[in-house]
Structure 1
Amino acid sequence: MSKFAVFEFWLPAVLVTLWFIASASSGSVFFPPLRNILQSFGDTWLGAGFERDIIPSLSNLGIGLLIALVVGVIAGLALALFPYAADVGEPFLQFFRAIPALAVLPALFIMWGTGPTGKIVAIAFGAVWPILLNTLDGIRSIDPSIRLVARSYRVNRALLIFRVLLPGALPQITVGIRTSLAIGAVLMVGSEMYVSTAGIGHFVIVAQQTFALTDMWSGILLLGVIGYLLNFGYGLIERFLLRWQPPARTTKRSTRKARSGRRNQVIHS
C-alpha cells in the first residue's frame, strides 16, 4: 500500500511544486500566484463555502449516481434476461446514449425544476447509460454454457442472477460506473453553472463574471481535487469488489509462461 501511495501521489506533488515556483512572481491578473489561490481556497472552502456549496454539490452527485446505478443495473439485467426486448430497444438505447446530457438540461429543468431535484435527475440521466450498457454487455459476454449448467441443476432465477450473472458481469459494470462517475461530475458542475443559486459550479461562474479570478481558480482547483479523490476512492472500492480476480501482471506473466512452455514443447517434439 505504501509503494502504491508513493506512485499515486508523486506526480501531482511534483506538478503542484512546479506550479507554485513558476507562478511565484506572476503579476498576471488572469493567472495569479498559486499561493494566492491556496489562500483563497482555505478562506472559501474551509469556511462558509463548505456548507453553502460543497455539501449541496456532492449530495446531488451522490444521489444522482446512486439512482443511475440502481436503474442502470436493473434495466441492463432485465434486457439481458429478455433478449427480444433488448433487440427491440437497442436503437432507442443508442439514440438516448448519443445525446449529450448537457444538451438535455433545459428540457430536464422545465420538467423537474431548477432545484436539487432537477440537478439530480440531470446527473442520473447522463450517468445511467454507461452502467446500463456495460451491465447488458457484461451479462451477454458470460459463457452460455454456464447458464445451461445452472438450468440443468434447476437453479432458481434469483440465485442465477445474484450468484452467476451479476458477479460474472461485475468487471464490466465497474467500468461503466467509473465512466458514469466522470459524466456525473461534469453534469454536477454544468447544471450549477446553467441555473443555480448554490454549488461549486455556481461559485466558479459567479467568480468569473465578477472578475474575482483568484476565487475562480480556487473553485477550479477544488473541482480537480474532488475529481481526483473520487477517482482514487472508487479505485479502492473497485479493487475490493474485484479482489477475486488475478492481478493483471500475474495474468500476463502466466500467459507468457504458458506460451513459452508450449514453444519449448514444440521444439523438443
Structure 2
Amino acid sequence: MRTVVISGASSGIGEATAQRFAEAGDHVVNLDIAPPQDTPGEWIETDVSDWAAVGSAVTRVYDERGRLDVVIANAGVSVRHGVLDLTEEQARRTTSVNLLGVLALWQAAARIMVGRKEGVLLATASVNGLRGYPFYADYNATKAGVAALCRTFAMELSPHVRAACVSPGAVLTPMQLAEYTDAMLAETNRRIPAGRHAAPSEIAEAFFYLASPAAGFLTGQELVIDGGETAGATTTAFGGA
C-alpha cells in the first residue's frame, strides 16, 4: 500500500485524484484548509502557503506511515480580474498558494524521498501557463512556474525521484463553476475541439498513470490534457458535420 499525499484534495481535481488512488488501495492523506466532504483517507488541516505547516504535515505522515511514495501538489486559487484591477494582496496570495505552495510541499517531500532513493513528485499546472489568457495574469504566471519547477526538480533529483506535472485545460470543478456563467462555459466549450470540459476524474487518471511503474521513464515532463484546446483551435468551434 502506497502512501499518497495530495494538497487541496477536499474538492475538485484533488478530491477525484484522492478517490482514484484510494480505489487502488493506497493510503491517501489530504492537506487542505477546507474540511473534506467525500474525500477518502486522512485529512490534515494545512495552508500550503505556510512552509512550516507543510513541513510538519509531511514529517507527520512519514513518521506515522514509515513511507512517502507519491506527493501531489494540487492546491490552488484563482480569481478572475484584469491586469489593471489586480491588487498586490491578490497576487501575493495566488503566488503563495499556486507556486510557492508547490515548492514548499515538493521540497519537504523530496528531503525524505532522496534519503529513501525513491518517490514521485507531481503537481497540477495548467494550459494557462502555456499561452496568453486574459483576466488571469497572476494565475497564468504561477502555472508556468510550476512547469519550470517540475523540470528543475527532475534534473536535480534523478534518477531516484521523478517529477512531473499535469496541465489540464477546462475542467468542471467548483472553482471553474464559481467564476463562469453558463454562457461563458458554453463559449469555452466551443473553443475546445473535444466540445466539452473535462471531468475531474479524467485528470485524476493522468495523475494515477504518472505515479505508476508504467511511467517509470517519465520525468521532467508536462502532460497536457485539454481536449485539443492548445493544438491550434482558440476562437472557433470544434470541427464536425
The two structures have a TM-score, normalised by structure 2, of 0.27
Greater RCO (Cα-Cα under 8 Å, separation 6 or more): 1
The two structures have a TM-score, normalised by structure 1, of 0.25
Larger radius of gyration: 1
